[in-house]
Chains A and B, each alone.
Chain A
């Protein structure tokens, strides 16, 4: 019945969980859902920890799993409901409401690319690995996301520059 927490797993959990929640929050746009996504990703990691296929880079692995789960959740919500910003849970800590709202206009994979690139400062190559796409696809996601957000936010576009 007992399943003690492996110290290395615990270290990965403590050092990675908050960042995974933040990334998931940008994608799913709800704190509770973001935490649930992150927890489910760590459940998968825990189950792999002592399995026959141990994870070589657990931080990156759990991040990638969480991003995929968050994208899936965000897609599901886009197809099943329209969530007005005013309906968000009261403890969601949104400061830049306009950006939060504008991100909701982006497809979930573009949100994921934006979160990994702009929030986590990951290079394009790393974002590509986490999203399981090519670097050129990541650049395309970022280009389109910037263009759309610039329009929605009324900011300077500066979308011609390359990234990575």
Chain B
């Protein structure tokens, strides 16, 4: 074999298993876009405030004061002691993790998860079983798409409560929602419903088999594929609405593991 053939075959072999989860990656990209915009706003506002202060006091220290800032690690909320912050991605050891709700802000509650072996972290707010790509995701939801196939749909604010979100999802075109039922998770009341997307290629489904269900608090899209059932626990936690989202797929073992995670989940408020 020539070195060129070896390179060609080797590179293909080494990369053909790289099949990134597009929905997750797209969400991460949107989250990063939002963070960069927010950081720019903070820099502009912060710089403006410093300039105003310097002008007011005639200070001479302004140039050095403008050279960046410090980032401090926020302590975990009460109730999450001993839990490890869920990494952004990668295989994780079994254990107790504290995770953010995707798109949530500093005041949004956190979730404490008991993660069994075999899972990996995604975006700091989901744990997936890599073989099945099934798992548990934590989301905020601030706008619901009326038509999940319409890429120009900006969505609408459903209102602040769990019941508001459940109602809006039930009214969403093309997807099918079960009747919301009262539920309590980790001591917090909410509603449980199952949202089903049409089978791949079904009449009336999205042409690309992707369903844009809602926007998170950071503006990121929550896409799901065709023929999927999302199990949603929508909770009201101290004025914040959060969603625990389980993709109903995978082997019996994975489903059992994920169900156990949902049962053991704790939602902790931020200080």
**Which residue numbers of A lie inside 8 Å of B, CB to CB?**
1-7, 10, 13-14, 17-18, 21-22, 25-26, 31-32, 34-35, 38-40, 42-43, 46-47, 89-91, 93-96, 98-100, 114-115, 118-119, 146, 149-150, 153, 155-159
4 additional contacts, CB 8 Å, given A13-B29, A43-B36? A22-B15, A39-B28, A40-B32, A93-B16
The answer to whether B215 touches A2, judged by C-beta atoms less than 8 angstroms apart, is yes
B203-215 vs A: 1/0 string, CB under 8 Å? Answer: 0000010001001
Give the number of A-B contacts (CB < 8 Å).
142
Contact size range, B: 35 or more
Measured in the bound complex, the distance between the Cα atoms of B15 and A95 in whole Å is 9
Select A13's contact among B1, B26, B153, B215, beta carbons within 8 Å: B26
The answer to whether B11 touches A99, judged by C-beta atoms less than 8 angstroms apart, is yes
List the A side residues contacting B15 at CB < 8 Å: 22, 25-26, 93, 119
The answer to whether A21 touches B20, judged by C-beta atoms less than 8 angstroms apart, is yes
The answer to whether A31 touches B18, judged by C-beta atoms less than 8 angstroms apart, is yes
10 nearest A-B pairs in the assembled complex, by CB-CB distance? A93-B17, A99-B10, A7-B151, A96-B10, A95-B13, A155-B3, A150-B3, A22-B15, A119-B11, A3-B219
Q: Is the interface of A mostly helix, strand, loop or mixed?
A: helix
The answer to whether A157 touches B154, judged by C-beta atoms less than 8 angstroms apart, is no
* Closest A residue, CB atoms, query B23: A14
Select B90's contact among A14, A32, A95, A155, beta carbons within 8 Å: A32
B100-116 vs A: 1/0 string, CB under 8 Å? Answer: 00000000000000000
List the A side residues contacting B90 at CB < 8 Å: 32, 89, 91
The answer to whether A146 touches B29, judged by C-beta atoms less than 8 angstroms apart, is no
* Closest B residue, CB atoms, query A29: B14
Q: Is B25 an interface residue (CB 8 A)?
A: yes
Measured in the bound complex, the distance between the Cα atoms of B25 and A40 in whole Å is 10
Measured in the bound complex, the distance between the Cα atoms of B169 and A44 in whole Å is 32
The answer to whether A17 touches B20, judged by C-beta atoms less than 8 angstroms apart, is yes
List the A side residues contacting B217 at CB < 8 Å: 1
